[in-house]
Amino acid sequence: MAARKRLIVDGVIIDPQVDFMDLLGSALPVAGAVADMQRLSTMIDRIGPKVRDFHVTLDSHHPIDVAHPGMWTNNKGESPAPFTLIRSDDIRSEIWFPRNRHAKLSQLGGQTLEQYMIGYTQALEAAGKYLLMIWPEHCLIGSGGHAVQADLFSALSRWEKANFANVDFVTKGVNPFTEHYGGLMAEVPLASDPSTGLNTGLLTVLQEADIVFIAGEALSHCVMTTVNQIADNIGEEHVRKFHILTDCSSPVPQPPGGPDFPAIAKDWLKTMKKRGMTLTTSTEFLA
């Protein structure tokens, strides 16, 4: 009798970083994130020998970033408070505008920074994506908040040593002129920066897998966007291989006067289930 073919199992873990953990001092805590990572770590120890690759995205920013307060100002020299929404009309009417607004930058095609930001926010609005929101400075490159949550880091390290393998860490968000929620491409890719375009290499690897689990933070933003990017680009024949661990991912809470992110995430999960993905938990997956 022929030996049964071993299933290729991959894991995609999205932004499991300290700044997203519900810990004292975290820049952008997501309620439930530490418990999510602890459950995920327990699962990794259980299924580790069955996993071919872990792909872990790392949100990676500079202080001056399109979605950080330091990029923006008003006529009083003030920066916007975190969770401020900035629309293209806000820039035109000078409610908010980029600092050094008249600078012409080669990486932006010679446009002034102000011209670019008007076009950028217009592109988000036209595509029906989240409006530009100003977040607290988070996941700053080189900071403690950029690091992987401790329990998960330990579990991944144990897997690396036991399986003579390396985790595939995927950085995103380094370019300060575009948001990069998704692990496969920026919200508005820049022609001058290939790292903001579609990560076809990661797509190819995921196409080779038989089963892929998804976990990470936050469900309403980087997880949702990453999974949408995968589903929209990998080919419909591959969509059914994805399993979303609903107990290893939590949404951003609703900010005062802002979008109901938990409700958005809940509706999105239903949509992914209709597309053929499996909603499961860390105890049920490969049990």
152: nearest Cα among 272, 10, 17: 17
Q: What is the mean pLDDT of residues 15-33?
A: 97
pLDDT confidence band for 276 (50 / 70 / 90):
very high
φ, ψ of residue 138 to 5 degrees: the values are: -145, 155
> Using 50, 70 and 90 to split pLDDT, how confident is the model at 263?
very high
pLDDT tens digits for 218-259? Answer: 999 999 999 999 999 999 999 999 999 999 999 998 988 888
pLDDT interval class at 163 (50, 70, 90): very high
Contact 239, 229 (CB under 8 A): no
Rounded Cα gap, residues 230 and 272, in angstroms: 11
Q: Are 99 and 52 in contact (CB under 8 A)?
A: no
Tell me the pLDDT band of 1, cut-offs 50, 70 and 90.
very low
Q: Is the pLDDT of residue 84 over 90?
A: yes
Domains of the chain: 9-62+140-280 (3.40.50.850), 69-133 (no CATH)
Kindly indicate the confidence band of residue 4, based on its pLDDT and cuts at 50, 70 and 90. Answer: low
pLDDT at 256: 84
What integer pLDDT is reported at residue 72 of this predicted model? 98
Report yes or no: 248 and 216 within 8 Å, Cβ to Cβ: yes
pLDDT at 255: 85
Q: What percent of the chain has pLDDT over 90?
A: 95
In terms of Cβ atoms closer than 10 Å to its own Cβ (0-12, 13-18, 19+), residue 34 is buried
Bridge partner list, 215: 13
- pLDDT tops 80 at residue 83: yes
Mean pLDDT over the full length of the chain: 96
Q: What is the mean pLDDT of residues 59-86?
A: 97
Please state the rounded mean pLDDT for residues 210-217: 98
